[in-house]
Amino acid sequence: MLKKLENLKLEFLKALEEVKEVSELENLGKEYLGKKGKLQDILKGIKDLSVEDKKIVGPEAN
């Protein structure tokens, strides 16, 4: 899961570099951080982790 979070972060930062207008930034936010965004897809899997893994992944996800 940490690998997925890191990949998502890198993907987001790359997409952020290409933003040229406010509307693109808004769309990017929705795509990654929205209710049905890419981050939410990853966070849904936290419930299936062990307590020890949750302690590691939780802070990284925040």
Residue 60: is its pLDDT beyond 90? no
Q: Indicate the number of domains in the chain.
A: 1
Average per-residue pLDDT for the chain: 91
Tens-place pLDDT, residues 4-57:
999 999 999 999 999 999 999 999 999 999 999 999 988 888 888 899 988 888
Q: In this structure, are residues 19 and 28 in contact, taking their beta carbons and an 8 Å threshold? A: yes
Domain span including residue 23: 2-61
Residue 61: is its pLDDT beyond 90? no
Amino acid sitting at position 18: E
**Rounded to two decimals, what is the model's pTM?**
0.78
